[in-house]
Amino acid sequence: MENIVLFGGGLHANVCIDIIEKMGEFNIVGIIDSIESIGSKLYGYPVIGRQNDIISLRKQYNIDAGFIAIGDNYARALVKNDIVLQMPDFQFINAIHPAASIGRNVKLGVGIAVMANAVLNPDAVVEDFCIINTGAQLEHNCYMCEYSHLSAGSITGGKVKIGKYSTITLGVVLVDRLNIGENTVVGSGAVVLKDIPDNVLAYGNPAKVIRSRKPGEKFLKSR
């Protein structure tokens, strides 16, 4: 099996490790994390170094590929950009749970997490470094822009577009043919009946824009 490294040791990493183990295609040599002590263990794997050690770690552990196990969309992008700056030829794998359903003609980028019982229906497109969480449903002809996130139990209608860095949180329903703007968060349990613009927080039934959001603003609680 190919050796890989994980970037990030938070709670999201725990789920991604479980997926990668179940895939049976990769050997996780360790975790690169900015907080936990080097030599400590997270979820059964050693913390082997920091991000700026990646070139030496690559030689030490014979790794040419890895996975960014970070839930925050902007943080994922920052880590990816730094890795590629240091090693332009580094490869990013997808973590796709065996219990996920991937339809015909679905197009997947790289660095994507697809969790248990997620459904990606025909002709959906998922760009690089997206997350499709447990039991989420991405309907036919939908489009997820890079670094976007469809959270657990959320459902889209057909031909929905989710913008770059945007997050559809827990249990949201998006009716068909909607556009969700960039850097937008749709709050838990919302029912979205019309387009949502860039850079806002929206929630409710029906969903309404509550306030604006700044690029890079966090939406997840810290570990």
Question: What pLDDT digit, counting tens, does each position of 152-168 carry?
Answer: 999 999 999 999 999 99
Same-domain pairing of 124 and 185: yes
Inside any domain, residue 221 = no
Inside any domain, residue 222 = no
Q: Which residues contact 28 (CB under 8 A, 6 or more apart)?
A: 4, 5, 6, 17, 20, 21, 45
pTM across the whole model: 0.96
Query: What's the CATH number where 117 sits?
Result: 2.160.10.10
Q: Distance between CA 176 and CA 113 in Å, rounded?
A: 23
Same-domain pairing of 102 and 197: yes
Residue 155: domain span = 95-209
Inside any domain, residue 115 = yes
Same-domain pairing of 22 and 77: yes
Query: What is the per-residue pLDDT across 55-92, written as a single tens digit (0 to 9) for each?
Result: 999 999 999 999 999 999 999 999 999 999 999 999 99
Beta bridge partners of 67: 6
Q: Which residues contact 90 (CB under 8 A, 6 or more apart)?
A: 54, 58, 64, 65, 66, 83, 84
Count of domains forming the chain:
2
Choose one of 73, 92, 111: the last residue of a domain: 92
In terms of DSSP bridges, do strands 41-42 and 167-168 run parallel, antiparallel, or are they unpaired?
Answer: unpaired
76: which 2 tokens? Answer: 């994922």
Inside any domain, residue 157 = yes
When pLDDT is cut at 50, 70 and 90, the band that residue 221 belongs to is: low
CA angle 52, 14, 1 (to 5 degrees): 70
Q: Distance between CA 5 and CA 175 in Å, rounded?
A: 38
pLDDT > 60? residue 223: no
